[in-house]
Structure 1
Amino acid sequence: MTPVTYIVLGSLALATLFGAAFSWRRHSLLKLIIKTASTALLAVWAFMVGGPLPVVAGLALSSLGDFFLEADEDDRFLLPGMGAFFAAHVAYIALFWTLPQADQSWLILAALSGLILSGVLFIRWLAPWLPPKMRWPVFLYGGVILMMGAAALRLDSAFLPIMIGALMFIASDVILSTELFKHPDGAPKRPLPSIALWFLYFGGQALIAWGASPITD
């Protein structure tokens, strides 16, 4: 096997291990390493196969966000983590706008309207549980991830993996924000939401990387 194959298999193996055995457990150095390495290796893979720079940057920034979110148990690095993911979404938006777009149709307009309406309603529903200092960061983050999803939905059907990946990414953030802000403080993570969150998140990232890389040509 080539080094590229080893890298992508290593990323998938670490991601599977994290989701199946670590995603709901308390913070630890081992958990931090496995989580961060899985997305970092995905960024390395995208770079080695000639993936667009925004995809490599988006994956690398997401790996940095993973590091911040797992760095401690007190959520002191929650804002830096959100900032890293915010920048990752900006990178993805920049890429999606350069890719071929689908012809406008009622189906695309309906999908875009449904995505934006659902996002606004979810953020409105979540708002009462947000700490005051987190309200504007969450609102801004919600806006950028909806822009990322909308940009993906406008793509030509040849980029279906990217569309699916973007929606999976959004779904993972819905679970994450619900667990972070609506779940009681200090309560242990719940296994099923944690597992679903991780595989939606990593799977979405992998589909975006795969869909944007020359290997799909």
Structure 2
Amino acid sequence: MRDRLGLTRPAAAAALALAATAAWHLGAQLTGASGAANVTQWFLMPLLALTVWLAAGAARRTRLVRLTVLALALSWLGDTAPDVAPDDLAFLTMLGFFLLAHVTYLAAFWPLRHDGVLRRPALLVPYAIAYVVLVALCAPGADALAAPVVVYGAVLTAVAVLATFDRRAAVGGVLFMLSDSLIAMNAFVGGYDLPAHGFWVMFTYVAAQVLLAIGVLRVASRPVPVPGDGAHAGTGTRPPA
């Protein structure tokens, strides 16, 4: 039996493993247990990707679902590759893989663009303001990385905008902006000193990815209308509102 998100027993087991790992990781962040935090971070995105894949099921592994899983895989590389990269390349390695992840999310969400705030341009203003503030804060201290910061911020903001196809995904998009903004401010803004910085970065990041995944699964679970069946009889679809 499936619920609204299609959580069969295997998917629910993967989700439970994700929740336990995330709780362990965030606890390690709060207590300064860097070894446990590093190890558990390696498993977060694979467990979320597995949950999405199992929850969708073979019949609902649409382009949207497949690209979301790819974005999660690229996010995993962004989480882990810096651990094995040379110290002077660690930040750029993380930035590169997460940029690819965000571009993949853009490709995934683009067909749903008319279901979000693009229908009402006035709602784009808060996103534009957030982007301008982020660049204004970070670009002056980024030196040679100023251009990548501008580009990355634009892509990040675009993902948040396109994620408004679903309320939960919209919150996820905003949280992703917040998480990456905290990383950028820590790297480029002098005097930035947020208590429990690592915890807040990871809390917003994990919550963002989970909410984006939930939004994707909700879209994937929508009934598909049968062409030419105006009565919607026997198709399992809903009549027009």
TM-score by length of 1: 0.82
Determine the structure 1 residue equivalent to 2:38. Answer: 32
Q: Does 1:66 pair with 2:79?
A: yes
Determine the structure 2 residue equivalent to 1:48. Answer: 54
Q: 2:121 aligns with which of 98, 109, 113?
A: 109
Q: Does 1:169 pair with 2:176?
A: yes
Determine the structure 1 residue equivalent to 2:202. Answer: 198
Partner of 2:196: helix, strand, or coil?
helix
- Structure 2 unaligned regions, length at least 5: 1-7, 223-241
Aligned length: 207
> Residue by residue, what CA displacement relative to the aligned partner does 1:147-188 show, whole Å, maximum 9, x if unpaired?
1112223x2xxx11111111111111111111122257xx9x
Which amino acid counterpart does residue 147 of structure 1 have in structure 2?
A
Q: How does 1:80-119 map to 2 (within 5 A)?
A: 80-99=93-112, 101-102=114-115, 108-119=120-131
Q: 1:144 aligns with which of 149, 155, 165?
A: 155
- Contact in 2 for aligned 1:24/1:191 (Cα 8 Å): no
Following TM superposition, by how much is the alpha carbon of 1:3 offset from its aligned partner in structure 2, in angstroms? 2.5
Higher relative contact order (CA 8 A, sep 6+): 1
- Contact in 2 for aligned 1:32/1:71 (Cα 8 Å): no
Which amino acid counterpart does residue 198 of structure 2 have in structure 1?
S
Question: Larger deviation: 55-64 or 76-85?
Answer: 76-85
In 2: Cα distance, 1:169 partner to 1:43 partner = 17
- Structure 1 unaligned regions, length at least 5: none
Which amino acid counterpart does residue 46 of structure 1 have in structure 2?
V
Following TM superposition, by how much is the alpha carbon of 1:193 offset from its aligned partner in structure 2, in angstroms? 2.5
Which amino acid counterpart does residue 211 of structure 1 have in structure 2?
G
> Residue by residue, what CA displacement relative to the aligned partner does 1:66-87 show, whole Å, maximum 9, x if unpaired?
1134447935321121111111
Pair 1:104–1:21, CA change in 2 (3 A): closer
Which amino acid counterpart does residue 66 of structure 1 have in structure 2?
D
Pair 1:66–1:105, CA change in 2 (3 A): closer
* Higher gyration radius (CA): 2
Pair 1:139–1:104, CA change in 2 (3 A): closer
In 2: Cα distance, 1:194 partner to 1:92 partner = 24
Which amino acid counterpart does residue 198 of structure 1 have in structure 2?
M
How many percent identity over aligned positions? 25
Which amino acid counterpart does residue 152 of structure 2 have in structure 1?
Y
Determine the structure 2 residue equivalent to 1:10. Answer: 17
- Contact in 2 for aligned 1:24/1:194 (Cα 8 Å): no
In 2: Cα distance, 1:113 partner to 1:48 partner = 37
Following TM superposition, by how much is the alpha carbon of 1:24 offset from its aligned partner in structure 2, in angstroms? 7.5
Pair 1:94–1:23, CA change in 2 (3 A): farther
Following TM superposition, by how much is the alpha carbon of 1:111 offset from its aligned partner in structure 2, in angstroms? 2.5
Q: How does 1:179-194 map to 2 (within 5 A)?
A: 179-182=186-189, 191-194=195-198
In 2: Cα distance, 1:105 partner to 1:2 partner = 37
Partner of 1:97: helix, strand, or coil?
helix
Q: Calculate the aligned-residue CA RMSD, in Å.
A: 2.8
Determine the structure 2 residue equivalent to 1:213. Answer: 217
Which amino acid counterpart does residue 200 of structure 1 have in structure 2?
T
Determine the structure 2 residue equivalent to 1:124. Answer: 136
Determine the structure 1 residue equivalent to 2:227. Answer: none
TM-score by length of 2: 0.75
